[in-house]
């Protein structure tokens, strides 16, 4: 390994040539924990709606690291003193910010690991890798957890104008073909500055920020929360929930050992966190590190033939794209209509009558495109004055962007349309 040339160049379809400038970054990319992200789709089941959306978390993390390198370069050019150690640590933090994602990204993080978020799992992987790399990730962890005195470095990784969002909006737009998500990342990065340890945007970049916020809102409703994508993710979640129920009840189901372990366990956050006195990762984290999208889909193909009708039907819906009808509205759905749909489902699907809530259900989705306040995007004018983008913009409707937009969805089999 010591003889390996670690100064590599990656040819990325979104950003062009990306340089891997730190040897530590190269070694982290080579680690099995990170290589696993090649088989985790960035947009989960969105490919069922947008066939091109099959790009991976691996690509996104490399892209976000590249944008962070550009941001550090820009800030240095404006006189900000950022050491090589800080630059490397920030690059490590953004590279590993999504390493805790499970199969199909957000779709399954609350099923496999018992409502444990990918952010917590990312922390667990960071601490484990820090042990394996003899403490070389300590500064990156401080920045990741916002415990390092220079807060703006954390903002580059996790904030309203972070390099994570900069990459995923542009990348997801590219792969889905949804042009509304295209943003001027290079211009925004060139307009970045730091005032009082806070990331700000110079006034010349205000129009690029406006477009960034609008693009984010449009991408959420057009891609991330597209009603068919929402329906598919709900079916996949319910498939795993049913598999978990069966395993905990003692039934045999086909899947690989790591997935079976997670389905058959009632784990807590503490179960995943590395023990400083133990060199090896905790068993739950080891198993989590071995599963990706492929394991879930292989299992789902087998579950189509399982004796449990509910598991079989849900698996068939995912594997063969037999998705339910889905309706959206802003006010909620009439409880009487939901009761009628449930009653008709039980009548038409006698074998599944006791499990109707797996197939007829309602819930909510919501977004905040922008959150004004303490972590607001501040516009820096030539006279040194800082103004919140929601106030500085003469084009954005600040209230519309900052208010939470909530929509209700209703899912049911297509055969029940019109009821």
pLDDT at residue 31, rounded to an integer? 98
For residue 51, what are the contacts with CB-CB under 8 A and spacing of at least 6? none
pLDDT at residue 149, rounded to an integer? 97
pLDDT at residue 368, rounded to an integer? 75
- Provide the 10 A C-beta neighbour count for residue 212: 27
DSSP 158: S
- Determine the Cα–Cα distance for residues 134 and 129; give it in Å rounded to an integer: 8
CA nearest neighbour of 419 among 349, 324, 342: 342
> Which tokens hold the place of 227?
């009603």
CA nearest neighbour of 197 among 143, 254, 138: 143
Model confidence pLDDT, tens digit, residues 365-378: 888 767 776 678 99
3-state helix, strand, coil split of the chain in percent (to 5) is: 55, 10, 35
H/E element, 316:
helix 309-319
- Determine the Cα–Cα distance for residues 179 and 191; give it in Å rounded to an integer: 23
- Tell me the backbone φ, ψ of residue 11, rounded to 5 degrees: -95, 105
Model confidence pLDDT, tens digit, residues 130-180: 999 999 999 999 999 999 999 999 999 999 999 999 999 999 999 999 998
Assess contact for 409 and 363: CB atoms under 8 A.
Answer: yes
- Determine the Cα–Cα distance for residues 358 and 280; give it in Å rounded to an integer: 39
Q: Per residue of the chain (419 residues), what is the pLDDT tens digit?
A: 455 778 899 999 999 999 998 899 999 999 999 999 999 999 999 999 999 999 999 999 999 999 999 999 999 999 999 999 999 999 999 999 999 999 987 666 767 766 788 999 999 999 999 999 999 999 999 999 999 999 999 999 999 999 999 999 999 999 999 998 899 999 999 999 999 999 999 999 999 999 999 899 899 989 999 999 999 999 999 999 999 999 999 999 999 999 999 999 888 899 999 999 899 999 999 999 999 999 999 999 999 999 999 999 999 999 999 999 999 998 889 999 999 999 999 999 999 999 999 999 999 988 876 777 667 899 999 999 999 988 888 766 655 666 678 889 999 999 988 77
pLDDT at residue 1, rounded to an integer? 45
């Amino acid at each position: 390994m010591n003889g390996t040339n670690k100064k590599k160049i990656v040819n990325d379809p979104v950003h062009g040539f990306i340089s891997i400038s730190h040897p530590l970054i190269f070694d982290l990319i080579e680690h099995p924990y990170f290589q696993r992200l090649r088989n985790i789709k960035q947009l989960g089941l969105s490919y069922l709606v947008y066939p091109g959306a099959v790009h991976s978390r691996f690509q996104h993390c490399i892209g976000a690291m590249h944008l962070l390198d550009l941001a550090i370069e820009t800030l240095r050019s404006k006189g900000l003193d950022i050491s090589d150690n800080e630059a490397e640590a920030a690059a490590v933090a953004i590279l590993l910010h999504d390493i805790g994602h499970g199969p199909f990204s957000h779709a399954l993080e609350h099923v496999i690991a018992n409502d444990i978020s990918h952010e917590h799992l990312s922390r667990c992987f960071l601490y484990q890798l820090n042990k394996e790399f003899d403490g070389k990730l300590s500064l990156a962890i401080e920045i990741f957890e916002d415990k390092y005195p220079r807060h703006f470095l954390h903002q580059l990784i996790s904030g309203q104008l972070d390099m994570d969002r900069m990459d995923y909006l542009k990348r997801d737009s590219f792969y889905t073909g949804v042009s509304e998500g295209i943003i001027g990342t290079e211009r925004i990065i060139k307009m970045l500055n730091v005032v009082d340890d806070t990331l700000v945007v110079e006034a010349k970049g205000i129009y690029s920020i406006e477009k960034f916020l609008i693009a984010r809102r449009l991408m959420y409703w057009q891609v991330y929360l597209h009603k068919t994508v929402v329906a598919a993710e709900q079916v996949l979640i319910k498939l795993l929930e049913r598999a978990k129920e069966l395993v905990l009840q003692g039934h045999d189901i086909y899947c690989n050992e790591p997935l079976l372990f997670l389905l058959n366990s009632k784990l807590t956050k503490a179960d995943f966190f590395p023990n400083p006195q133990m060199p090896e990762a905790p068993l739950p984290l080891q198993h989590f590190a071995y599963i990706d999208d492929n394991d879930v889909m292989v299992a789902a193909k087998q579950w189509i033939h399982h004796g449990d009708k509910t598991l079989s039907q849900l698996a068939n819906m995912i594997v063969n794209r037999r998705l339910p009808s889905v309706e959206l509205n802003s006010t909620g759905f009439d409880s009487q209509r939901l009761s009628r749909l449930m009653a008709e489902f039980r009548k038409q699907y006698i074998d599944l009558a006791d499990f109707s809530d797996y197939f007829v259900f309602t819930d909510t989705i919501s977004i905040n495109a922008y959150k004004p306040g303490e972590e607001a995007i501040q516009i820096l004018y030539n006279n040194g004055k800082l103004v919140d983008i929601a106030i500085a913009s003469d084009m954005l409707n600040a209230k519309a962007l900052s208010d939470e937009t909530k929509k209700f969805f209703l899912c049911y089999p297509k055969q029940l349309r019109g009821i």
